[in-house]
Amino acid sequence: MEPGSGPAHEAGRVLVVDDEKPLAGMVATYLARAGYDATVAHTGPEALEAVRAGAPDVVVLDLGLPGLDGVEVCRRLQQFSDCYVLMLTARGDEEDKLAGLAAGADDYITKPFSVRELIARVAAVLRRPRTSVHPGPARVFGELTVDVAAHQVRVGGDPVGLTRTEFELLAALSARPHQVLTRRQLIDTVWDPAWVGDERLVDVHIGHLRRKLDEDPGRYIDTVRGVGYRMVAR
């Protein structure tokens, strides 16, 4: 792991993980110039060690890594870190994007990319609102309980493990039960109003969330065709 410039900045700590050392170094340099405390790692095991040691706020994670690939690193990160993960994928490779999101990545950016776009994405995830600011009482939908204050979700009393993005989507939907929220509204709430990308990202995360909540995908989250999603209790 190579250090970035200076002590941790209030803008956030970012770990760049890519086996292309010149690329990783360049990205880290630009992030440092933008005010972030940027560090780099070049293998899967190095990335896990760096997250444990440095507790970054955001990990920019390439899929093709030696030791452990990016998908496996992402899966393991879910077990001990709540950092945001921005996955780097090959352009047009839909399977890579889906695999990364399924493993818990919050967002993705395709190679080749502009450093300006990557820094904008990092800034966007760090601006994401914290759902626990005004949590209110636990929200109950049949057997489903969403406790935003405790950051816990239970179905029939059993805890459900969600990624940060899945939890924030559920918090956004459960805050306005029976009201349809469009993909854009969910992006504005969970990602950032300035986020630009493929809005189908929402569909992928909603799909994972549904499967974790119940075998019936429409039991708690209903799809309103051509509009968006709403929270229900069947």
The domain ranges of the chain are 13-126, 139-231
Whole-number CA gyration radius for the chain: 18
Q: Is the pLDDT of residue 28 over 70?
A: yes
Q: Is the pLDDT of residue 7 over 50?
A: no
More confident residue, 143 or 217: 143
What pLDDT score does 234 carry?
66
Quick one: average pLDDT of 98-111?
84
- Put the strands of the sheet holding 37-41 in their side by side order: 37-41, 13-17, 58-62, 84-90, 107-111
What pLDDT score does 90 carry?
75
* CATH class of this structure's domain 139-231: mainly alpha
Q: Is the pLDDT of residue 16 over 90?
A: yes
Beta carbons of 41 and 65 less than 8 angstroms apart: no
Q: Nearest 5°: CA angle at 193, between 130 and 132?
A: 10
Residues contacting residue 116 through CB under 8 Å, at least 6 positions apart:
none
Residues contacting residue 42 through CB under 8 Å, at least 6 positions apart:
17, 18, 19, 21, 24, 65, 66
d(CA 108, CA 197): 9
CATH architecture classification, 13-126: 3-Layer(aba) Sandwich (3.40)
Position 35 confidence tier, pLDDT thresholds 50, 70, 90 = very high
Q: Is the pLDDT of residue 93 over 50?
A: yes
Residues contacting residue 1 through CB under 8 Å, at least 6 positions apart:
39, 40, 41, 46, 49, 50, 53, 54
Is 13-126's fold the same as 139-231's? no
Position 91 confidence tier, pLDDT thresholds 50, 70, 90 = low
- How far the first Cα of the chain sits from its last, in Å, is 50
d(CA 181, CA 187): 10
Nearest to 70 by CA among 44, 52, 104: 44
What pLDDT score does 159 carry?
93
Position 100 confidence tier, pLDDT thresholds 50, 70, 90 = confident
What pLDDT score does 94 carry?
74
Q: Is the pLDDT of residue 126 over 50?
A: yes
Position 112 confidence tier, pLDDT thresholds 50, 70, 90 = confident
